[in-house]
């Protein structure tokens, strides 16, 4: 009985909302098509204001109100921006954006900007599981559009794996970015047997991450594991030599107008 009453209330509320919206549209529209206008009238046609989902309004074909959210504008230009540690909510959004862009156009490239500490927080503590990074890396390889990766600011830990997993010859970094490889950290607690199981999982994930970096950079797996045994920072130039990226992008302010622009150099 309670469920039926709730369902009826929801139906009445929806009908009331629809009625209010229709009333709003009618009230904003000139009812009589043959209505006379004064000598200073700027229009002699029906003018209608319609509400849009983003809260903006469409006034006689012209958009008024707040602009769409910035991530939507970036996505419309096939730009995916990762600017946070890899936690489940971030992974869900990034994977969904890749799948949507493949559905929209499977030929045009996707530009992925990376400014993340990976699955760790800036203080070095664990922020998420390595499987978050593997989900994004596997999706990058799964979708058909080529993914151009660009490091801005920083790429630490598993974010280096994502940076190097971009389309060959289209992995780049800005001049002052910092790239760092290190081992994953464990946050296992509980009984000794549970800690041992988690330790084996951490070692497996570490090997998987380093194998991907070794494959995409062309370095031997033993060298990658040795370099990552302690925190290793790389400048963009050193990252090019290491094989993690392919080039360093210059600012268009420092080059002539005849040279390729920032986006065209990708």
> pLDDT 10s digit of each residue in the chain, 266 long?
444 444 454 454 445 444 444 444 444 444 444 444 454 444 444 444 444 444 556 656 666 655 567 878 888 889 999 999 999 999 999 999 999 999 999 999 999 999 999 888 777 777 778 889 999 999 999 999 999 999 999 999 899 999 999 999 999 999 999 999 987 776 667 777 777 888 888 888 889 999 999 999 999 999 999 998 888 999 999 999 999 999 999 866 544 444 444 445 44
Confidence at residue 93, expressed as pLDDT on a 0 to 100 scale = 92
Q: Which helix (H) or strand (E) holds 102?
A: helix 88-104
Confidence at residue 255, expressed as pLDDT on a 0 to 100 scale = 42
* Helix 130-142 × helix 192-217 angle, to 10°: 30
Cα 131 to Cα 91: distance, rounded to the nearest angstrom? 10
Confidence at residue 150, expressed as pLDDT on a 0 to 100 scale = 95
Distance of CA 248 to the CA centre of its chain: 21
DSSP state of 28: T
Q: 191: helix, coil or strand?
A: coil
Confidence at residue 159, expressed as pLDDT on a 0 to 100 scale = 93
DSSP state of 111: E
Distances from the Cα of 79 to the Cα of 83, 136, 173, 259, angstroms? 13, 15, 15, 23
Please tell me whether the overall predicted TM-score, pTM, comes out greater than 0.85 for this model.
Answer: no
DSSP state of 235: -
Q: 181: helix, coil or strand?
A: strand
Q: Which residues contact 147 (CB under 8 A, 6 or more apart)?
A: 98, 109, 110, 112, 140, 165, 166, 167
Cα 221 to Cα 134: distance, rounded to the nearest angstrom? 18
Q: Do residues 249 and 266 touch, judged by C-beta distance below 8 A?
A: yes
Q: Which of 187, 219, 189, 224 is nearest to 207 (CA)?
A: 224
Confidence at residue 10, expressed as pLDDT on a 0 to 100 scale = 47
């Amino acid at each position: 009985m309670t469920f039926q009453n709730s369902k009826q209330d929801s139906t009445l509320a929806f009908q009331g909302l629809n009625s209010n919206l229709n009333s709003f549209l009618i009230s904003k529209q000139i009812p009589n098509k043959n209505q006379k206008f004064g000598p200073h009238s700027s229009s002699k046609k029906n003018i209608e204001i319609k509400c849009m989902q983003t809260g903006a309004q469409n006034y006689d074909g012209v958009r008024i109100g707040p602009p769409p959210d910035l991530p939507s504008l970036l996505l419309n230009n096939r730009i995916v921006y990762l600017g946070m540690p890899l936690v489940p909510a971030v992974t869900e959004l990034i994977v969904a954006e890749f799948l949507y862009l493949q559905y929209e156009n499977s030929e045009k490239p996707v530009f992925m900007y990376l400014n993340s500490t990976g699955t760790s927080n800036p203080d070095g503590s664990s922020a998420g599981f390595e499987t978050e990074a593997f989900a994004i890396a596997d999706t990058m390889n799964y979708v058909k559009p080529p993914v151009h990766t660009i490091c801005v600011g920083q790429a630490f830990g598993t974010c280096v794996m994502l940076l190097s997993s971009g389309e060959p010859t289209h992995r780049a970094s800005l001049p002052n970015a910092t790239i760092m490889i290190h081992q994953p950290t464990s946050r296992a607690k509980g009984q000794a047997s549970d800690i041992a199981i988690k330790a084996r999982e951490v070692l497996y994930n570490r090997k998987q991450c380093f194998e991907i970096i070794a494959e995409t950079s062309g370095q031997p797996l033993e060298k990658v594991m040795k370099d990552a045994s302690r925190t290793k920072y790389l400048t963009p130039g050193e990252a090019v030599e290491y094989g993690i990226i392919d080039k360093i992008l210059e600012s268009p302010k420092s080059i002539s107008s005849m040279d390729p622009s920032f986006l065209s150099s990708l």
